[in-house]
C-alpha cells in the first residue's frame, strides 16, 4: 500500500495469542531483564499482583508481530509514540491487537516522496481490558 491508499478510520484486528512462561523466559534472556516481577513465582506471591507478569516490552513486541501479517514494500516502521503499559499481562493471558489508522500527514523533509501514517494500537486481554496502548508510526512511499 502506498500513502494514498491508507484511510483514516480503517481498522484491523489480530488473532489472539496466549502468553506463556517460555515467552517470558526467552524475553528475559534476550533483554537481560531478570527482575523478580517476571522470574520469581514465590516472591510474586507476596506482592499485590500475586503472580509473575510479562515484561511490558514483551507484550509490545508480540502485539506488533501479531499485526505484521503482510509485507508492504512501500512502508516501514518509523517508531512508536505514547507507549503505555496499562495493566499487567500474566502467564496464560491471551492478548489481541486492535489497530486503527488515526492520522496521515506529509513527511516534513520530503513530502513529494513520503507520507507519515499513525496507527493507534490497543492490546486487549481475554477480559476485554486494554493492557498496552501505543501509536505505531509508518514512513510510507507516495505513489509516483
Rounded to 10 degrees, what is the CA torsion of 129, 137, 26, 91?
0
Check the CA dihedral 18-19-23-25 and report its sign: negative
Looking at residue 71, its pLDDT comes to 75
The range of the structural domain enclosing residue 44 comes to 3-141
Residue 89 and residue 109: Cα distance in Å, rounded?
A: 39
Q: What is the pLDDT of residue 69?
A: 80
CATH code of the domain in which 90 resides: 3.10.129.10
Q: How far apart are CA 96 and CA 15, in angstroms?
A: 6
Q: pLDDT tens, 10-47?
A: 999 999 999 999 999 999 999 999 999 999 999 999 99
Q: Return the pLDDT at 73.
A: 85
Whether 51 shows a pLDDT value over 90: the answer reads yes
Q: What is the pTM of this model?
A: 0.93
Q: How confident is the model at residue 64 (pLDDT cuts 50, 70, 90)?
A: very high
All 3 cell numbers of residue 97? 491487537
Please check the confidence at residue 62 and state whether its pLDDT lies above 80: yes
Instruction: Output DSSP code: residue 14.
Output: P
- Say how many domains are in the chain: 1
- The per-residue pLDDT for range 69-93, each reduced to its tens digit, is 877 888 999 999 999 999 999 999 9
Q: Do 133 and 98 form a contact (C-beta atoms < 8 A)?
A: no
| pLDDT one-digit tens code per residue, 93-122 | 999 999 999 999 999 999 999 999 999 999
Amino acid at each position: 500500500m502506498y500513502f494514498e491508499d491508507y484511510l483514516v478510520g480503517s481498522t484491523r484486528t489480530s488473532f489472539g495469542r496466549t502468553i506463556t512462561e517460555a515467552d517470558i523466559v526467552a524475553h528475559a534472556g534476550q533483554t537481560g531483564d531478570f527482575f523478580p516481577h517476571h522470574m520469581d513465582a514465590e516472591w510474586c506471591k507476596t506482592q499485590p499482583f500475586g503472580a509473575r507478569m510479562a515484561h511490558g516490552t514483551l507484550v509490545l513486541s508480540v502485539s506488533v508481530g501479531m499485526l505484521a501479517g503482510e509485507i508492504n514494500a512501500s512502508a516501514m516502521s518509523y517508531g512508536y509514540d505514547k507507549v503505555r503499559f496499562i495493566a499487567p499481562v500474566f502467564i496464560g493471558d491471551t492478548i489481541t491487537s486492535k489497530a486503527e489508522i488515526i492520522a496521515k500527514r506529509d513527511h516534513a523533509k520530503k513530502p513529494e516522496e513520503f507520507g507519515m501514517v499513525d496507527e493507534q494500537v490497543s492490546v486487549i486481554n481475554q477480559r476485554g481490558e486494554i493492557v498496552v496502548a501505543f501509536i505505531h508510526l509508518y514512513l510510507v512511499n507516495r505513489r509516483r
